[in-house]
Every structure is written in C-alpha cells, then in structure tokens.
C-alpha cells in the first residue's frame, strides 16, 4: 500500500490484514521508504529503505529502525542521505575484479604463499629452497592459468633425470600442488590443475639398527673419544632415543634429574607438542658427568662458541669408522636401536610408541618385525591339547633376526645392559 506517512497513520493504520503474517506500507513522500508490520505482537513496526544494488541490480532493503526509535522526518532524512551517497557511487567507474589466475606463480609465491608458510610451517625454509632452485626457473613467470599437468609431468621427469631421489622429487611436486591448491582456496584461481597428480611415492625409509656387539664397540670408542661433549651427546642419543636436535639444543631448565624427566617444549620437537622423556640410570649418569650444569644454559655447549653444535657429520664419520660400523649407519639410527632394544627385552610396541612419542601408531609398526618372535611365543601360550595330537612344546629360544640393512640382530635379554661410559 502506498500512502503518506503521518503520525495519525502510524497510530491507527499499521494493521496486518486478517490471515496475513505481515504487511508492507510505502511512503508516498519519500520513495523507497517503507514500513514492515508483522502480525506477531512481539515485534514493533520497522522502517526500511528499499533500493536496487548497483552491481547486481537486485532489490534489497536496509534497516533504519522501529517507529519507536525513529520519527517520520528522521526516517525520510536517512533515506535522502543514502540516496545521495548512492547517486555519487553510481557515477564512479566500476571496480574491475582481476581475472582469476592472471597473476604469475612468482607473484603468488612472494605476496601470498611465502608469508603464509612462514606463519604456519616450521620448515618453510625448505620450501623456499625448493622454489628458488628448481620451481621458479620452470614456472615462476607463468600465470596460474598457464600451468598444466603436462608441464608438471615434464618437470617430474626432469628431476628424475637429474638423479634426484624419488622422495625429494615428490617434495617438489607436493609444494607446487600445495601452492595451486591454496590459490584455489583463496579464490585467486578457478581450479587446481594438479589435483590428484600422481607422485612417485617410493618408500625410501631406511631402518638401520646396531646389534649388541656393534653397540658395545661404539660405547668403547666413545669412552676413549677425546671430545667428551660429543661423546656424551651420542651416548645420550643411544640411551634415550631422542632426536639429534633435541639433544644438542637441550637445556638444563628442561631437566629434572631428581625424578628422572626431561620436558622438551613443543617449539623444539617434531610433533610440536611438549614431550616428556623418561631418563634411565644411564642417561642420568651421562648428564651428571657432563659438567655443564650451572655453567651454560645448554646441556652440551660447544666449548669454542658456547652455543649448541650445529653439525657433527665429520665427527660422526670418524667415530663410525673407529667403531667399525657400516657406512650407512646414521646418528638417527641410535634412535632406532633404542626402540629395537626395548622390543628385544620383551616390551610392547605400545610402550615403544609412547617412549618415542609417535603420534601415529603406524610409524611404530616399522619395528613390528623385531618383536615377531615375542608374538609367536604369545600365540603359543594359548595352544590347547587336541585329542590325537601331541602336546604343544614350549617355543624355542628366539633366533637371530636380520635388520633392514642386513645387520644380524641378537635378541637382548632384559638383563643385558650396555655399559655407558662416563661422559667426562
């Protein structure tokens, strides 16, 4: 209904017809000013301005206030202001949105992806290296819409021809896929052309373990090694299973030798969560003997700089040769050795998972072949005597098993404890 809004009309004319849920009245004086009235008694009649959007030309409404909040002159004045603003906006040239996917990959990397990665990825510097060295020369100047699956396939082939490992090859393609995926999520590109792009997916996990003889040789070498700090670091890796960086950057403020715990903050470990390492007697003795408590914030400071060791590759190579270990043996394999010794002592995979702080039990399953004999013995314990069959015989002693690297593993009795020499 179109009618001139007056005070008397507001008092008597705002009536919803019988059977209707609401009514709408339009002001004949100020075009576009309307009052909506609902049959429900809970709501007051309300002023609105109805107009057409400049971009979509669709009709829409903007609330002004109830008839108790605004007078008729106030409502008309507000509509007049909005109309004037709309008239000015209509004279402005339209703002053209950039065509999706028209920016180059390098612009997307610099202005969008890298700032995002620095905020959300601890290993963003690895992304930076992969992009700068290989992805940028190939795709940096291409617009997002110009990158194709065929080009990505050729890129993958080139990396393979350069003798790059399958895992490193996949890391480059994963980064490129991730960038295009984020561009799509952030509405900078219509689609990710590399979605479900096939990767090489070669399992290159290396699992080397030291048997008891090799571990004992290593301990003897460390006992005589002149750099006592480095010897202490390696002994701690073997007896706690912590990662190299967790040990070298360890701080005394994280230690509680009295109750045998080491709390490593989430900012310093792979899972990004605080982890508690339970210190056995060997670990506590190593820490007590290292002699840096009260002298440095770090457990194992470099005597020359006072800071943690950044690289022990040269020293490890020398120690490995002295201990007559395989060239494939890495410092990280001391962590694997820690896990296999726990299993060889009859403990469970669940306990290994908790001690190594694996978030996913699938990661721990790599050690399942070490405890196969224990599982066989457990299954034999449930054997029953069937009529006509001989009584089950007790399981034989565990036979030596072979590691992934070909090293023969002798199951270690729980009482067989490797002697960790003093660290200082």
Q: What ranges do the domains of the chain cover?
A: 2-91, 105-185, 212-381+393-409
Q: 1.10.3080.10, 3.30.160.390, 3.40.50.300, 3.90.650.10: which CATH number matches 2-91?
A: 3.30.160.390
Phi, psi of 33 (to 5 degrees): -85, 125
Q: Looking at residue 388, what is its pLDDT?
A: 58
Kindly report the CATH number that applies to the domain delimited by 212-381+393-409.
Answer: 1.10.443.10
Confidence bin at 356 (pLDDT 50/70/90) = confident
CB 280 within 8 Å of CB 235: no
pLDDT of residue 40: 77
Residue 423 has pLDDT above 70, yes or no: no
Task: Determine the pLDDT at residue 66.
Answer: 92
Using 50, 70 and 90 to split pLDDT, how confident is the model at 386?
low
Tell me which of 354 and 80 has the higher pLDDT. Answer: 80
- pLDDT value at position 325? 93
Q: Are 36 and 67 in contact (CB under 8 A)?
A: no
Question: In which order are the strands placed within the sheet that holds 261-264?
Answer: 255-256, 261-264, 275-278
Q: Is the pLDDT of residue 235 over 50?
A: yes
Which tokens sit at 259?
């109750």
Residue 416 has pLDDT above 70, yes or no: no
pLDDT, mean over the chain = 84
Same fold for the pair 2-91 and 212-381+393-409: no
Q: What is the pLDDT of residue 415?
A: 36
Instruction: State pLDDT tens for residues 39-89.
Output: 876 778 999 999 998 878 889 999 999 999 999 999 999 999 999 998 988
Residue 363 has what pLDDT? 72
Mean pLDDT on 389-413: 45
Confidence band, pLDDT 50/70/90 cuts, at residue 92: confident
Whether the per-residue pLDDT at 401 is higher than 80: the answer is: no
Q: Which of 219, 222, 226 is nearest to 303 (CA)?
A: 226
CB 227 within 8 A of CB 334: no
Q: What is the mean pLDDT of residues 244-252?
A: 91
Within a 10 A sphere around the Cβ of 220, how many other Cβ atoms?
A: 14
Distances in Å between the Cα of 234 and the Cα atoms of 248, 319, 409 are: 10, 10, 21
pLDDT value at position 236? 93
Distance in angstroms (rounded) separating the CA atoms of residues 132 and 123: 15
pLDDT for residue 424: 46
- The pLDDT score that the predictor gives to residue 362 is 72
Give residue-wise pLDDT tens across range 178-200: 999 999 999 899 899 999 999 98
pTM above 0.85, yes or no: no
Residue 394 has pLDDT above 60, yes or no: no
Residues 328/405, Cβ–Cβ less than 8 Å? yes
pLDDT confidence of residue 382: 74
- 300: pLDDT strictly greater than 80: yes
> What is the per-residue pLDDT for 403?
43
pLDDT in tens, 116-171: 999 888 789 999 999 999 999 999 999 999 999 999 999 999 999 999 999 999 99
């Amino acid at each position: 209904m179109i009618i001139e809004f007056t005070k008397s009309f507001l008092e008597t004319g705002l009536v919803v017809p019988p059977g209707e849920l609401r009514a709408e009245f339009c002001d004949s004086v100020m075009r576009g000013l309307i009052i909506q009235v609902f049959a429900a008694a809970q709501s007051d009649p309300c002023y609105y301005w109805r107009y057409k959007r400049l971009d979509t030309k669709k009709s829409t409404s903007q609330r002004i206030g109830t008839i108790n909040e605004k007078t008729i002159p106030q409502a008309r004045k507000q509509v007049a202001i909005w109309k004037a603003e709309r008239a000015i906006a209509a004279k402005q040239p339209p703002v053209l949105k950039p065509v999706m996917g028209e920016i180059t990959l390098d612009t997307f990397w610099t202005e969008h992806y890298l700032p995002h990665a620095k905020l959300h990825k601890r290993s963003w510097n690895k992304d930076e290296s992969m992009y700068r060295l290989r992805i940028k020369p190939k795709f940096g100047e291409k617009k997002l819409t110009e990158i194709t699956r065929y080009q990505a396939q050729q890129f993958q082939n080139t990396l393979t021809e350069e003798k790059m490992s399958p895992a490193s090859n996949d890391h480059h393609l994963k980064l490129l896929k991730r960038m295009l995926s984020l561009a799509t999520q952030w509405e900078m590109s219509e689609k990710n052309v590399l979605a479900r792009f096939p990767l090489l997916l070669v399992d290159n996990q290396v699992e080397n373990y030291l048997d008891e003889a090799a571990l004992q040789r290593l301990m003897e070498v460390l006992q005589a090694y002149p750099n006592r700090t480095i010897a202490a670091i390696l002994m701690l890796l073997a007896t706690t299973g912590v990662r190299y960086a967790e040990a070298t950057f360890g701080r005394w403020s994280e230690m509680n030798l009295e109750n045998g715990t080491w709390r490593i903050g989430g900012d310093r470990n792979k899972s990004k969560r605080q982890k508690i390492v339970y210190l056995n007697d060997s670990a506590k003795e190593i820490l007590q003997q290292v002699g840096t408590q009260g002298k440095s914030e770090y457990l194992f400071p470099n005597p020359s700089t006072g800071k943690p060791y950044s690289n022990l590759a040269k020293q490890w190579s020398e120690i490995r040769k002295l201990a007559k270990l395989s060239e494939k043996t890495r410092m990280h394999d001391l962590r694997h050795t820690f896990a296999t010794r726990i299993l060889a002592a009859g403990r469970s995979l669940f306990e290994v998972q908790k001690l190594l702080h694996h978030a996913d039990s699938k990661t721990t399953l790599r050690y399942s072949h070490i405890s196969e004999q224990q599982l066989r013995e457990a299954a034999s314990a449930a054997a029953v005597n069937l009529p006509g069959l001989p009584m089950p015989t007790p399981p034989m002693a565990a036979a030596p098993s072979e590691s992934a690297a070909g090293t023969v593993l002798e199951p270690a009795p729980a009482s067989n404890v490797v002697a960790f020499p003093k660290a200082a």
